[in-house]
Structure 1
Amino acid sequence: MPSNDSPAPLAATIRHSNELGKLVRQLRVEQGLLQIDLAGLAGTGNRFIVDLERGKPTLQLQKVLDVLDLMGLEVVVRRKDGNRHGQ
């Protein structure tokens, strides 16, 4: 029986809003939350969470970042390996 209650580290490369939406949905379900629960915790409307999980590309960035932070996620921006423009 494992004694470690912390979740496994998560690393994902996200290139499209629908990929981020799928990840948010997966983690929300793993955390046992309904969309309305997450919306309440995040101080946003249920429609925002629905749109986020569907990958709507025009959502307000700060609200998305706030929801990710609430879910224990952070955004890290880095250069693509071997794919630099101008070389």
Structure 2
Amino acid sequence: MNLTINEIDRIIEMAWEDRTTFEAIKYQFKLDEQQVIELMRKEMKPSSFRLWRKRVQGRKTKHEKLRVFEKGRFKCSRQKQITHNNISKR
């Protein structure tokens, strides 16, 4: 793994987000779930890592297979569309 500081920060941010799946991280950064776990363990304080692991372990929103996406995109069905810097109404 040769990642920049900005990429590491973004991966950590994505890993903490409830609705961002491990598959989305893999798609963008080529890191599988185990590699994300190892990166989180290495980059975070032990107490923060334990809190994160407890939070994501078995969470449906972190695994694409357990979620339903619109047309294969990494996006929650409740997420609003943004067009020309305006939030579209449904």
What TM-score do the two structures reach when normalised by structure 1? 0.28
Which is helix-richer, 1 or 2? 2
State the structure with bigger RCO (CA 8 A, min sep 6), 1 or 2: 1
Question: Which is richer in strand?
Answer: 2
- Name the TM-score, length of structure 2 as normaliser: 0.28
